[in-house]
Amino acid sequence: MCGIAGIVTRDGSAPGPAILDRLAGALAHRGPDGGGRHVREGVGLVQTRLAIIDLDGGRQPILDRDGRAIVANGEIYNYRELKSDLPGERFATGSDCELPLHLYRRYGLGFVSRLRGMYALAIDDPLENRVVLARDPFGIKPLYVCEGPFGLAFASEPQALVASGLAEARVNPAALVQHLQLQFGTGGETIFAGIRRVAPGETLVVERGRVIDSRHLSALPGGGVEPGDAESLLYQLDSVLMESVDLHQRSDVPYGMFLSGGIDSSVVLAMMARLNPRPVLAFTAGFPGTGVHDERGHARALAQAVGARHVEVEFGERDFWELLPAVAAAMDDPAADYACLPTFKLARMARREVKVILSGEGGDEVFGGYGRYRTAMRPWPLGKPMRRHGTFHDHDIVRIPLDGWRDGLAAAERAEDVAGRSRLQVAQAVDCADWLPNDLLVKADRCLMANGVEGRVPFLDPLVAAFAFRLPDSAKVHKGLGKWLLRRWLERTLPAARPFERKRGFTVPVAEWIAARPEIGELVARQTLMAEIGKPGAVEHLFRHCDKRTGFACWTLLFLALWHQRHILGHKTEGDAFDALATR
């Protein structure tokens, strides 16, 4: 896991060292174990390294015998298998990230189809005088680009492009509306005007500072549903899960997992316990003294059932106010997902013992877990599109037009509604296009990388996804429950999980904490962003009456105000959220 960045100039000049220094400096938190750079005419690449595999020899950039160079962020889990498929090839390192370079030399732009892992990478090919950028099909690892008179620049985080001076700290109004209504952005545009995401599964060819070719590798298989009897499907599920978790545990450093007690993390725990001779190290967050469900008791029982070592991390009101500025600073692509709060603290605590964490992200999307999927499955006119109403649908707070906030989702719905797919598959594919990469995976990437921890997601493995997506709808949703096949597997493998009991949704009690300190509303209202978008007096009124109905709107405004302070105005303050918002 690392940070990568680079420039491809239009005039063929070598990028200056000062700009490369700024890019590397802005990504230093992603790579506390070292860094490197590669410069030639027209091209400059930098990398900051979090050493996971081949600790001593895996430094980047890595060069081949013809002078091609690679910088990569991520893990290629099948690197051992790929090496065995390249007899006679000479490898300079034991790093998994060297393999894409050899595959590119042999197979050209089709090299990405052979990779099983998470990655954002750049290959400089001086023989063709081009740079190739590629991102994994689910978008687990981030990659952003901007263009200008200088050419094209890329980085693992948009804040690095701003810090380098190659992009402006300027808000994209259309994306801001999406963040207000959805909590995340859709498609390629980001909240920074002029910076866009490389799409999940996209490969770009850049020559002389311009994109000349773009190709796409889908995360989800083509075709419709594949039938199968229950016992056969359970056997196949066990096989693909075991292989994926085994691959995701490949590491030269200690690893553990995040255990929420839900279906997905319980499955990961059960499989890790099967595969590891030593006790699994599991971390669980809880919210003591609040009105939300505390999952630590159930997670503790699961850990005891498999002999895992269980670390419980309390997240309270004090943590909320004290950590918010650091979380907003880390979330430069500002997905206002309140799960970023416990994720950030869990990563901070986990870093004391491990550098790699496995988690259950992606289980709902590929196995059909969300309640909104069950609504989408209903025939017309009972079936309804997902996310019909935005956060401020019932709140007369914002004075800027909120039109068009759903355009990106509608585009994804049209694009994913392909022949042969069931309504459930379409809904899953829509979530995999935007919600998953632009919310859940952004949250995990930024919160873990800010604390020097690599996150791995075995449900988002190509073979797991190919199996799960083409399951019959009845193996995903049955008797009003999602993830039916996963539940059946868990019932056999880890009965203590009680998988057929109704589970409470994961909630962070942000409304309770904000309601206890309504004076924060005045500070939020005074911020530059709120003055531009909020109606006079409406923001303070919202915070004075914060409750379950209005809590998420309050949280969204608070988070975006802190984000704007840091990433647009450039304020870097010490202290809690009150201190940060008091800075003028």
Catalytic residues: 2
Nearest to 285 by CA among 256, 261, 317, 254: 261
What region, left, alpha or beta, does residue 405 occupy, with left being phi > 0 and alpha being psi -120 to 50 degrees?
alpha
Long-range pairs of 444-448 with CB within 8 A, sequence gap ≥ 24? 444/343, 444/359, 444/361, 445/140, 445/141, 445/142, 446/157, 446/330, 446/331, 446/332, 446/333, 446/340, 447/327, 447/330, 447/331, 447/340, 447/343, 447/344, 447/347, 448/343, 448/347, 448/357
Question: What is the rounded distance in angstroms from the CA atom of residue 440 to the CA atom of residue 120?
Answer: 17
**Residue 391: other Cβ atoms inside 10 A:** 21
**Residue 500: other Cβ atoms inside 10 A:** 14
End-to-end distance of the chain based on CA atoms, in angstroms?
36
- CB-neighbour burial class of residue 417 (10 A; exposed 0-12, middle 13-18, buried 19+): middle
| Structure letter (DSSP) for residue 184 | S
Question: What is the rounded distance in angstroms from the CA atom of residue 279 to the CA atom of residue 255?
Answer: 11
Rounded to 10 deg, the angle between the 230-248 and 263-275 helix axes is 70
Question: What is the rounded distance in angstroms from the CA atom of residue 458 to the CA atom of residue 76?
Answer: 13
Q: Which two tokens stand for residue 125?
A: 């090919």
Question: What is the rounded distance in angstroms from the CA atom of residue 504 to the CA atom of residue 426?
Answer: 25
Question: What is the rounded distance in angstroms from the CA atom of residue 563 to the CA atom of residue 153?
Answer: 23
The residue written with tokens 């880890």 in the block is 494
List of residues 6+ apart from 574 with CB closer than 8 A:
none
Residue 194, phi then psi, degrees to nearest 5: 95, -5
Question: What is the rounded distance in angstroms from the CA atom of residue 481 to the CA atom of residue 477?
Answer: 5
The DSSP bridge pattern shows strands 356-358 and 454-456 to be: parallel
User: What is the edge-to-edge ordering of all strands in the sheet holding 356-358?
Assistant: 309-314, 281-286, 255-258, 356-358, 454-456
Dihedral angle sign, alpha carbons of residues 43, 46, 51, 56: positive
Rg (CA), the chain: 23
Cα–Cα–Cα angle for 577, 580, 584, nearest 5°? 145
Confirm if 281 and 354 have CB atoms less than 8 A apart. Answer: yes
Beta strands in 333-380 (DSSP E): 356-358
